[in-house]
Amino acid sequence: MLIEIASSGTAIALLKSELFKMLRITVEDATDHVRLKLEGNLCGPWVTELEDCWRAATPTLAGRRLKLDLTAVSRIDCAGKYLLALLRGTGAELIASGAATREVVERIALDWPGYRRCKDTTDSLRSSR
């Protein structure tokens, strides 16, 4: 596995044999929140990369909200769904777009009913219910 960290705060994890299957996590610090922008596949070894990134970001929150931007995620496996549910349970906001990702986010909301609802960037799911 190759991990590259750019000066912009972007961590890119790549399996050398499968460069097309990757996950890019960009950490964006704002005054009222920290956003982890995910791009690519949240599956296999990338789930651990997200967990590591979350653990590194948590001490820097200082009362700010954590937002997970899933709008550029193309695939989420079972381990990724479980981690997203756990992060949501700790107060992270899930931001989704696209039918498949919105379905994952809504399924997490239904399967983990004690947790807060997830944010949908299109608001179409809330308006249709």
The residue with greater pLDDT, 1 or 94, is 94
pLDDT digits (tens, 9 = 90+) for 64-90: 999 999 999 999 999 999 999 999 989
CATH topology of domain 2-127: Transcription Regulator spoIIAA (3.30.750)
Is pTM, for the whole model, over 0.85? Answer: no
* Averaged pLDDT of the chain: 79
In whole angstroms, give the CA distance from residue 27 to residue 110. 28
Residue type, 92: A
Enumerate the domain spans of the chain.
2-127
* pLDDT of 76: 92
Q: What are phi and psi of 101, to 5 degrees?
A: -70, -40
Helix (H) or strand (E) holding 5: strand 2-5
The residue with greater pLDDT, 44 or 10, is 44
Residue 104 confidence (pLDDT) above 60: yes
pLDDT digits (tens, 9 = 90+) for 114-124: 554 444 443 33
